[in-house]
Amino acid sequence: MKFTAHESFKTQVYFVSQGQELTMLDQEEEEYVRGVLSFEGKKGQIYQNFGPKGSQILLVGLGEESHLTADDYVYAAYQAAKALNGVHIESANIHLEVKGQVNNGQALQAVMEGFLQAEYRFDRYLTDKSSASLKVINVPEKVANLDQLVVEVEVLVEGINHTRDLVNTPSNDQSPAQMADQVKKLLEEVGVEVEVYDKARIEAMGMKALLAVNAGSVNEPRFLVMKYLPEGEDQKAIALVGKGITYDSGGYALKPADSMLDMKDDMAAAAAVVGTLYALAKNKVCKNVVGIAGLTENLVSATSYKNGDIIGSMKGTTIEVVNTDAEGRVTLADSLYYAATRVNSECVVDLATLTGACLVALGERTSAIMTNNRDLLVELNQAASDSGEPIWELPMTEDLRQKVKGTNGDLLNSAGRFGGTITAGVFLEHFVEGKPWAHLDIAGPAFGEKSYRYLPQGATGVPVKTLYRFVKNRIK
């Protein structure tokens, strides 16, 4: 997709808020659109008039003017792209009257994002591949720094799509070692230093929790440290920590077959960290960030860790394994402790497809957040709101803190059904050593059984946009 401000094309695309006058149409066509088709500019409404004798106009409804967000513009542009591709149009002009809660630059970037989102396809394993017809969009010239805005959004969507590709890749082509190699190649091309720790080095660091989860697999673990330090190594960094289970069978707490089908996605958080670092580095955002991910499979064999085992960790804390299918928090224990003690970190943000309880509580589109720092909460909330990736805080109450305490070991890796998302967060907090910390449970929005708005079926790339804006806008 190419964006230009210096060309003119036959096809015209108008984004229309609810109740807006349709001055772009002649009187006869407006009466038809309003009266017969009942087009009002409601969110999701589309009117198109193409063909040899058509006006070559596409109208896309935005919804109520006072409530418009950047995400509404993304969705409207995505719908426009789908409509144009559906009739094999290759180029179009867009017309944008900015309204609602966004400024000109934000609205234009959102529209460009929507057109770019419509291009995503995961077709690596398909014999017959398809591509979109739409190639060029002419945008309004009146926005300052247009070239810069175009490049930023193009790179951000690249980062989202790299995340999607990593998550959509099946586990037979993505062992921990294979994923580590892909990540290293991808990120080093944009100036991120990637250090890959093999099993021997993981053992030397004492990461007993990560190693316990890996014990059932013939594919050895990897531990990734991804450094993007444009401010200099002497300055503190934001640590982004992602769960990286490249396939999760549940271990001896074996998942049902249907529940295992999409468990290639259990490394979606690690992939989101990768996509975020890619976008930050390629866009040259001047903020120090260190990404961390422990990569392993969670499988069943004679050497697997078992329900009832008591295992160690890098910190020295012992963990009673109540449920081998609560493995993500076990691997994160070592990753978080590393982020808190081995990285010059100003704060730690971890993310994980961690609990089914999060979907029960918040549904498929909202991530849970738990934190020990109110400023972090405010910043992440704002970034999520700006990105159309909703999050909701859950409380880490004293009674749930008590539930995580073990009997024969220090902590339980699972504290039962009630408050399951929160007790997982309480477990993780134990390993951040008092650093400002936030945990995002992205179990719902990271992977979709069906497409939703502009998010594709399968890997969605959530929450790359949130993390990118959080880092970019953070003030130390």
Q: The domain spanning residue 183 has which CATH number?
A: 3.40.630.10
Residue 2 annotated in active site? no
CA 77 to chain CA mean position, Å: 20
- Domain that residue 81 falls in: 2-139
Residue-wise pLDDT tens digits, 40-97: 999 999 999 998 888 899 999 999 998 899 999 999 999 999 999 999 999 999 998 8
Count up the domains in the chain and report the number: 2
Q: Do 209 and 66 share a structural domain?
A: no
In this structure, what is the dihedral angle of CA atoms 292, 318, 395, 361, given to the nearest 10 degrees?
A: 80
Please say whether the beta carbons of 216 and 305 come within 8 A: yes
* Amino acid code (one letter) for 449: E
Task: Report whether 181 belongs to an annotated binding site.
Answer: no
What element of type H or E holds 310? Answer: strand 310-311
Task: Report whether 123 belongs to an annotated binding site.
Answer: no
- Asked whether residue 145 is assigned to any structural domain, the reply reads no
Residue 329 annotated in active site? yes
CA 192/CA 216 separation, integer angstroms:
32
- Asked whether residue 19 is assigned to any structural domain, the reply reads yes
- Asked whether residue 442 is assigned to any structural domain, the reply reads yes
> What is the residue-wise DSSP string for 288-300?
-EEEEEEEEEE--
pLDDT in tens, the chain (476 residues): 999 988 889 999 999 999 999 999 999 999 999 999 999 999 999 999 998 888 899 999 999 998 899 999 999 999 999 999 999 999 999 998 888 888 888 999 999 999 999 999 999 999 999 889 999 999 987 777 888 999 999 999 999 999 999 999 999 999 999 999 999 999 999 999 999 999 999 999 999 999 999 999 999 999 999 999 999 999 999 999 999 999 999 999 999 999 999 999 999 999 999 999 999 999 999 999 999 999 999 999 999 999 999 999 999 999 999 999 999 999 999 999 999 999 999 999 999 999 999 999 999 999 999 999 999 999 999 999 999 999 999 999 999 999 999 999 999 999 988 999 999 999 999 999 999 999 999 999 999 999 999 999 999 999 999 999 999 999 87
Q: Do 108 and 33 share a structural domain?
A: yes
Q: Do 294 and 374 share a structural domain?
A: yes
- Asked whether residue 111 is assigned to any structural domain, the reply reads yes
Q: Do 202 and 90 share a structural domain?
A: no
- Asked whether residue 144 is assigned to any structural domain, the reply reads no
Task: Report whether 325 belongs to an annotated binding site.
Answer: yes
Task: Report whether 266 belongs to an annotated binding site.
Answer: yes
Question: Phi and psi at residue 343, in whole multiples of 5°?
Answer: -110, 140
Candidates 236, 255, 365, 453; catalytic one: 255
Residue 34 sits in a domain of what CATH number? Answer: 3.40.220.10
- Asked whether residue 73 is assigned to any structural domain, the reply reads yes
* Amino acid code (one letter) for 359: L
Task: Report whether 441 belongs to an annotated binding site.
Answer: no
Q: Do 194 and 90 share a structural domain?
A: no
- Using DSSP bridges, classify how beta strands 367-371 and 437-441 pair: parallel, antiparallel or unpaired: antiparallel
- Which of 96, 116, 139 is the C-terminal boundary of a domain? 139
Candidates 222, 329, 435, 465; catalytic one: 329
b/e 332-365 (16+ beta carbons within 10 angstroms → b): bbbbbbbbbeebebebbbbbbbbbebbbebbeeb
Q: Do 179 and 130 share a structural domain?
A: no
Residue-wise pLDDT tens digits, 253-300: 999 999 999 999 999 999 999 999 999 999 999 999 999 999 999 999
- Asked whether residue 148 is assigned to any structural domain, the reply reads no
Q: Do 165 and 51 share a structural domain?
A: no
Q: Which two tokens stand for residue 31?
A: 């009466």
Show Cβ contacts of residue 216 under 8 Å, excluding neighbours closer than 6 positions. Answer: 251, 297, 298, 299, 300, 301, 303, 304, 305
- Tally DSSP H helices, then E strands, for the chain: 15, 19
* Amino acid code (one letter) for 222: R
